[in-house]
Amino acid sequence: MPLPLRRTAVGRGRRHLPDRLRLFRRNLFPEYFRANPDSQIPLYQTKFGIYEENSGLDKVKMSLGHDGYIYEVMKNYLPMESLYMLRYHSFYAWHRHGAYDYLCNEQDRAMLPWVLKFNPYDLYSKGHTKPDFKQLKPYYDDLFAEFFSGKNRLVNRFDAASLARRSTSGRRHGVEWLA
């Protein structure tokens, strides 16, 4: 039976964090974590929590967010390096501060440079000018054709114009995609 998500998974913003173990001391807004009922479970306050040393990040339950969602959508279509970039780009405690390395296996450590290469394109990379989707559509159509041709029904359901409407509708992207 899958473990339920920790109640702090909502409201973490862009931070991607593991569940069911002691949290990294530099997490934002620690007062919210202290109010979480999970903070009263002794096992979850230990270094390893429910995990074994070097078991691998793929065994660690992470807070639900855009990282995990896009990983689930793309996991059958992209190479491992790309999947790590998508899945762990907001896991700053790991890739920026070295926290939770004791949970990593050799594959995780080998993929870390890819996550670091992707991060500058994610963080603070959004412009203030609304993109011209008619101009961008051919570029993204070519990318979709190259990487997802006939493989991914989701890509066929969303074109650049509909994504533009969704992203400007005032709703949070993750909620909109899941709706």
Residue in the structure block whose two tokens are 């993204």: 140
pTM, entire model: 0.67
* Domain boundaries along the sequence of the chain: 7-122, 133-178
- For residues 41 and 120, the model is more confident at 41
Instruction: Write the pLDDT tens digit of every residue in 4-58.
Output: 444 334 334 445 778 888 877 666 566 777 777 888 899 988 999 999 999 999 9
- The Cα–Cα gap between 84 and 106 comes to 13
**Three state DSSP letters for the chain:** CCCCCCHHHCCCCCCCCECCCCCCCCCCCHHHHHCCHHHHCHHHHCCCCCCCCCCCHHHCCECCCHHHHHHHHHCCCCCHHHHHHHHHCCCHHHHCCCCCHHHCCHHHHHHHHHHHHHHHHHCCCCCCCCCCHHHHHHHHHHHHHHHHCCCCHHHHHCCHHHHHHHHCCCCCHHHHHHC
